[in-house]
Amino acid sequence: MRFIGALLRGIIGVAVLGAAWWGVAAAEWLPPNLLPGPVEVANKARDLIAADAFLQHAWASLDVLLYGLLPALVLGILIGILAGGSAGGCWLFGPFAMTIAAAPLVAAFPLMLLWFGAGLVPKIVFVFLVAAFSAANTVMVRWPARYDVKIRLAEPAEPAAWEARRPGRTCSVIAGLRVGIVLGISALVTAELIGSNVDGLGYFVRISGSLFNTSDAMAAALIILLPTVAVGIFLQSIEEQLAG
């Protein structure tokens, strides 16, 4: 199955990177206080998850994901479907999806801080814009290509044609979700690194690094990275299975 193959490739990739990290740390190419090993970082991550102060940072980040990323995925997928499903929708929504998805919005984030202040709102707006329009553009681009190929293969039997369209449509939606989630979380971390002076996981990574507390910074980064990578690999595995 393509799903199992893609999942195994992702697991192998994570394992190889982890082994490389362990090897570099064991060889002490960098001092242990600058590059702790994966076991030490994993133990520190476990301790952080049990600490109330760290959980406050985690909940702050989850608030942004709840109010920014979740609505962005729903709206982005809907816009992508409307834009990809008809020529009219493509001309109505496509220009906005293409333009905003291609824009390096991080350059505008300092302006959002000026407009909305340094609280929760600019981070929510930033995450929403990045995730919604990247997901919309991905769905829009993939939707017509899959649709046309499957229809030509299935003609002239109408029931078979209907069944053949579904994987292409589903693939585009899964791809939009995958891109939106990964870029949305990346936008959240970027916003917290740049604009947060109170809380958030990105803020925790930044402040720990500024204090040369490498193990805390790497543990927090690991807590961000592993779930995001797992979701990305899982969604891509589904996408490859449906496309097969």
List, for residues 133-186, the tens digit of each pLDDT value: 999 999 999 886 444 444 444 455 555 444 444 557 888 999 999 999 999 999
Alpha carbon distances (Å) from 85 to 5, 117, 138, 200? 31, 39, 13, 38
Residue 42: the pLDDT is 96
Chain-centre distance for alpha carbon 53: 25
Spans of the chain below 50 pLDDT:
145-154, 160-165
Q: Which of 51, 36, 140, 39 is nearest to 95 (CA)?
A: 140
51-221 topology per CATH = MetI-like fold (1.10.3720)
Residue 148: the pLDDT is 45
Q: What are the structure tokens assigned to 63, written together? A: 């608030």
Residue 63: the pLDDT is 95
Alpha carbon distances (Å) from 98 to 92, 129, 237? 11, 12, 26
**Per-residue pLDDT reduced to its tens digit, 1-12:** 789 999 999 999
pTM of the model: 0.88
Residue 144: the pLDDT is 61
* Cis-peptide, bond into residue 122, ω within 30° of zero: no
